[in-house]
Chains A and B, each alone.
Chain A
Amino acid sequence: MIYQGKQKIWSDYQKDIPDDHWFYVRSCIRQSFFPASEKYFLKICRDLLGKDVYETEHHTTCGGIAYHSDTIPQETAMTIVARQFALMKEAGYKNLVTSCITSFGNYTEIIETWREFPELEAKIRENLWKACRREFDIPEYVAHASDLIFKFKDEIGSLAKYHLVDGVTGEPLRVVEHIGCHYSKMFPHKGFGGAEYPCVLSGMVESWGGHVIDYPERRHCCGFGFRQYLVKANRGYSVSNTHKKFESMEPYHPDMIITNCPGCPYFLDRWQYVISEMEGKTYGQNGYGIPVFTYEEVAGLVLGFDPWDLGLQIHQVAVEPLLEKIGIPYDPKKKYLGLDGKEIMKPGLPTVLKCC
């Protein structure tokens, strides 16, 4: 009976995700930071899982960055979002899937606001009509792209060529999972596991053979925090946040970090270089950093895609030691070759952080 009780409580933390037919909206910044992640999300969903995921070149930013940076009012963000919903309606879709955590939070916040204040929704409908003669329907379902990968994690696991295990010892890799703040801290019931037990990434890691590390600052912000980074005078707060997280996870010797937000992998990756230059400290083994991945990159590695096709050469922290640990083959000569086979520019080497 107690087990049933626990099972019932846990069911409150779950959410049902529609199986198919999604309207996909991209992130503003991910294609610069982690250029192959969105491409491989679509490739995995469409080619491997056979799902219908539609995207249009006409969609824009959701306004989330400007809204959270206090540069536009929420009504402006709402009208931008209303236009995305109008595009979705025109394409004949009812389920929205977002690449970005902040977009997910923004869409969810706006829909919840309209539910509380219907007069505001009416005003936005009027704004949109005046601006571009469009009408919208509120999506039946809003999901983050990591929700879909979580839903199909076992299917991906069954197609896996590699697992998150040490290729020599067979021990599971020690993985830190970092969930973007706007995933379930704003609206806990919208995320798998709520705000207390968010399992969207830990579920993937465990399904693909890794071991999730629990550490004191596990749910701490990555450090981006919008104005913390965007205003240079505040940037010390941003790097201090990240420093706090790394100091907290260091004793647990993580092999890698997996994230589901555009900002988190960028800051957890790039700030390792900045911290190494400021304090002379690195957090990985033998002077390397801890490699940071998006969940699409990890799914791509598990499925056996080429690491350089997944864009891992764009990372600040070298991924080669981890690839060797898992036993994933890679060609160092192809690391900085573009799609046309010509060499792209090589980055300069940091003074402290070891890179390949």
Chain B
Amino acid sequence: MDFGFSISPSSTINLDKVDFTLYDRLCEIEPDAKKCMACGSCSATCTAGPWTGMSVRKVILGIQRGKESEAEKMLKGCMLCGKCTMVCPRGINTRHLILSLCRIYGEGER
């Protein structure tokens, strides 16, 4: 029956059911990923962000919540300029973290 409106898909994330393989692998290569406090300084300074939707904060959060394909899509907008690394208050080498993530995604493709 068509009511003229419908139920929106749920945005609930059940962390008991999320596959953390990718996040665990990232933390293995880049232990600093655990230091991220999601302040968003990296995203605020990102040159590519306004045009491509790239956000290091969202990439890390996405991987922590099992939204891996969304994270991969965002990573493609990165120009590896390294400005995010310069502003990170936790001293995370975000540029290197992005490269490591690309490498992990590359491993998956092979």
Q: Say whether B5 contacts A247, CB under 8 Å.
A: no
- Say which one of B6-14, B39-47, B82-90, B100-108 lies at the interface with A: B6-14
Q: Say whether B10 contacts A278, CB under 8 Å.
A: no
Closest partner residue, chain A, to B8 (CB atom): A240
In-complex Cβ contact of B8 among A233, A236, A279 (8 A):
A236
Residue interface mask B22-66, A partner, CB < 8 A = 1: 000000000000000000000000000000000000000000000
B1 at interface, CB cutoff 8 A: yes
Chain A, interface SS category: helix
Query: Count the A residues whose beta carbon is within 8 Å of the partner chain — how many?
Result: 16
Q: Say whether A240 contacts B7, CB under 8 Å.
A: yes
Chain A residues whose CB sits within 8 angstroms of the CB of B3 once the complex forms: 235, 274, 277-278
Chain A residues whose CB sits within 8 angstroms of the CB of B10 once the complex forms: 240, 243-244, 247
Q: Say whether A236 contacts B1, CB under 8 Å.
A: no
In-complex Cβ contact of A235 among B1, B5, B12 (8 A):
B5
Q: Say whether A232 contacts B1, CB under 8 Å.
A: no
A237 to B1, CA, bound (A): 18
Closest partner residue, chain B, to A235 (CB atom): B5
Chain A residues whose CB sits within 8 angstroms of the CB of B8 once the complex forms: 236-237, 240
Chain B residues whose CB sits within 8 angstroms of the CB of A236 once the complex forms: 5-8
A142 to B75, CA, bound (A): 56
A222 to chain B minimum Cβ distance, whole angstroms, is 15
A187 to B24, CA, bound (A): 44
Q: Say whether A239 contacts B4, CB under 8 Å.
A: no
B13 to chain A minimum Cβ distance, whole angstroms, is 13
Q: A236-B7, A278-B6, A278-B7 are in contact. Are A244 and B12 (CB under 8 A)?
A: yes
Closest partner residue, chain B, to A244 (CB atom): B10
A275 at interface, CB cutoff 8 A: yes
Q: Say whether B5 contacts A277, CB under 8 Å.
A: no
B110 to chain A minimum Cβ distance, whole angstroms, is 39
B17 to chain A minimum Cβ distance, whole angstroms, is 14
Q: Say whether A239 contacts B5, CB under 8 Å.
A: yes
Closest partner residue, chain B, to A229 (CB atom): B5
Chain B residues whose CB sits within 8 angstroms of the CB of A240 once the complex forms: 7-8, 10
Closest partner residue, chain A, to B1 (CB atom): A277
In-complex Cβ contact of B5 among A232, A275, A279 (8 A):
A232
Please, could you name 24 A-B residue pairs with CB atoms under 8 Å apart, sorted by A? Answer: A232-B4, A232-B5, A233-B5, A235-B3, A235-B5, A236-B6, A236-B7, A237-B8, A239-B5, A239-B6, A239-B7, A240-B7, A240-B8, A243-B7, A243-B10, A244-B12, A274-B3, A275-B7, A277-B1, A277-B3, A278-B3, A278-B7, A279-B7, A351-B1
- Please report B residues at the A interface, Cβ cutoff 8 Å: 1, 3-8, 10, 12
